[in-house]
A and B are shown apart, each in its own frame.
Chain A
Amino acid sequence: MDPVIARVLVESAVKIALFFFILLTVVAYMTLVERRVSAWIQDRQGPNRVGPFGLLQPLADGIKFLFKEEVTPPHVYRPVYLLAPMLIFVPALVTFSVIPIGPALELFGQRVRLQIADVDNGVLVILAFASMGVYGIALAGWSSSNKYSLMGALRSSAQLISYELAMGLSIVGVLMAAGSLRLNDIVQHQIEHGWNLIWQLPGFLIFLTAAFAETNRLPFDLPEAETELVAGYHTEYSGMRFSMFYMAEYANMVTASALAVTLYCGGYHVPGLHLLRLPEPAAALVQVLAFGLKVGFFLFLYVWVRWTLPRFRYDQLMNLGWKVLLPVAVLHILWVSFLVLMNWT
């Protein structure tokens, strides 16, 4: 086999395995983080029995889900019912594969990018697979043959496609400033010209709101609200399949946080790191850790907002998406074009 092809295959396989493992571990521990942080906000203890500080709780939860009986109701449309939980996971993973978690560095004599796929249209791939995320939910609700699931699925799909627009328009602001669709170029632009958070604050807020809506998290979680629709689109799922929905929601959260960090908060950039004059591997490690900390902050923000704000009513939600976020996003694009024209960014 051609050595170049062999090298590319091995490198990609290792990166995919590593990223997948990291993502799944973070997703598993997010369940624990959610419960501990929500307990802290509500002035009580969270799970702290299983292992020190409850750190083995995700393992216990995983074992529980594995052993739970999977009840498949007889009235569901089986092929699609079985397909939906798998469909809902894939967009989060694919979107995560184009995000750079660190700078390029020399490893084993090769120049390695800390990114699975350095495509020229990275941002478009993100938008593409964000719009694919609608299918898992819509199909889960439809195949369940249950009017509450159908309502939840319809509401969720409508919410997702409405907020996709605002998200896309806010990303257009970032694209205009950076002049390229590659995520590495966007991070590089932020390293040179200051984080997009500073220059494009309205766009950042729009993106954050849209990201909350895209991941079906409070205050936008009416589609799966326990008090309103039984459990929304995943009512008829149990056992391992239900846990797939649960994990997929957290995976989407991690991906959305990583996106917010990459597009607006400078990615893996640590301002002032070059002053320390560290050797290259150490500097790369510090930057990867910085990326992790920033993503962790956004995950904490997700949990914080969930347990602080009440839920939006459905018409308020759609109002916000179409009548507020969309015009503000268009005005924001005007602002960014002004910035680019004056060469301030």
Chain B
Amino acid sequence: MRVEFFLLIGALLFAIGCAGVLIRRNAIVILMCIELMLNAVNLTFVAFALENQSMTGHIFVFFVMTVAAAEAAIGLAIVIALFRRRRTTDVEDASLMRW
């Protein structure tokens, strides 16, 4: 299997996730698009680990998954706290500190 194929899929997924973060307004969907970007990066790591015959790529993926789990938990906790105050998950409405 050519490694470039997986790198391209990773790049496409990253671009889709990035566009999603910028386009969507629902805070939860934004967090999901962040997870999408992290997965794309994981895929790239694993592809390069295969090409260079080194397990360091797998270790990186392991830690990225750990950090992603912690970050998703805290992000969702923040969304819940925000929802309690404002009854909406729309990030456009969380504009109290905007100019």
A–B in direct contact per CB < 8 Å:
no
